[in-house]
């Protein structure tokens, strides 16, 4: 069996802010030779009945060419920016706290993950640090398609000191397939039959437009220092561009 190219942290129109139907996502994947899609639709948009409908539709939209794997993204009151992903969720769960998520999602999903740690300012509850399987070190929406998040790698390395099995992955956080931000995960050929299990075990490579990196080692040492510099420069250029766009729009409005 050849290696399996996949995308993870993907939203369909089952999420309130998702544009694409599951059939459209399947077509998107087949066109790009993507073998699996790790869906993570917003849990707050579901009831148990709607979840069952979603699971059935994922199965119907899947084919020999691509698997749509149902999963959910959870948010929690009083934990601003903390979003947790349950990949390959096998049953309906309704956690209301991060502690409950770890307790319920770990046995009910193929892998659990912390999404875009930048939104939580890298402040992660102890239960999440102690129970999560993976950290999204490159979110192609919040970190851009060009560079991963060096501070997320630092967080990953800190957690790995106590829990070496925790891995880092590149997620799309895709809500609209018209804007493919191009991050991928490549599962090793011996594990292609179980892509989410392989992700949990770190048996995959992360790929993006500008770089590739291992799931376990990630980026460290001198390359991480260079990534900090590149990230700093890129973010400043982007801010200048944003200011210029606002000024030009303002001037057009005045005229």
Strand duo 72-75 + 83-87: pairing? antiparallel
**Taking the model in full, what pTM does it have?**
0.91
pLDDT at 88 over 70: yes
pLDDT at 26: 97
Around Cβ 41, how many Cβ atoms within 10 Å? Answer: 25
244 pLDDT more than 80: no
Residue 10 neighbours by CB under 8 Å, 6+ apart: 25, 37, 38, 39, 40, 172, 173, 174
Q: What is the pLDDT of residue 151?
A: 96
Tell me how far apart the 2 most distant CA atoms of the chain are, in Å.
63
Q: Is 81 left (phi over 0), alpha (psi -120 to 50) or beta?
A: left
Task: State residue 243's pLDDT score.
Answer: 57
Tell me the mean pLDDT in the region 74-87. Answer: 96
pLDDT, mean over the chain: 93
For residue 158, give the H/E element and its range: helix 150-162
For the cut 90, the answer to whether the pLDDT of residue 220 exceeds it is: no
At 255 the pLDDT is 44
**Fold of the 4-219 domain:** TIM Barrel (3.20.20)
């Amino acid at each position: 069996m050849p290696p399996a190219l996949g995308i993870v942290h993907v939203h369909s129109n089952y999420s309130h802010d998702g544009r694409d139907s599951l059939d459209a996502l399947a077509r998107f994947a087949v066109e790009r030779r993507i073998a699996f899609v790790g869906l993570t639709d917003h849990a707050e948009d579901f009831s148990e009945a709607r979840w069952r409908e979603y699971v059935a539709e994922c199965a119907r939209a899947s084919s020999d060419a691509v698997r749509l794997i149902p999963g959910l993204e959870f948010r929690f009151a009083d934990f601003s920016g903390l979003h947790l992903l349950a990949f390959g969720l096998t049953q309906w769960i309704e956690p209301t706290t991060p502690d409950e998520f770890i307790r319920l999602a770990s046995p009910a999903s193929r892998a659990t993950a912390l999404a875009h740690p930048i939104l939580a300012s890298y402040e992660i509850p102890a239960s999440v640090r102690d129970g999560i399987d993976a950290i999204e070190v490159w979110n192609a929406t919040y970190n851009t398609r060009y560079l991963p998040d060096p501070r997320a790698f630092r967080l990953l390395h800190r957690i790995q000191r106590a829990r070496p099995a925790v891995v880092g992955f590149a997620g799309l956080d895709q809500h609209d397939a018209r804007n493919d931000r191009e991050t991928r995960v490549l599962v090793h050929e011996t594990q292609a039959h179980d892509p989410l299990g392989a992700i949990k075990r770190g048996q995959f490579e992360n790929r993006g437009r500008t770089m590739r990196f291992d799931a376990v080692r990630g980026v460290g040492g001198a390359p991480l220092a260079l990534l900090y510099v590149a990230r700093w420069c890129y973010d400043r250029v982007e801010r200048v561009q944003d200011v210029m766009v606002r000024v030009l729009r303002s001037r057009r409005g005045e005229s």
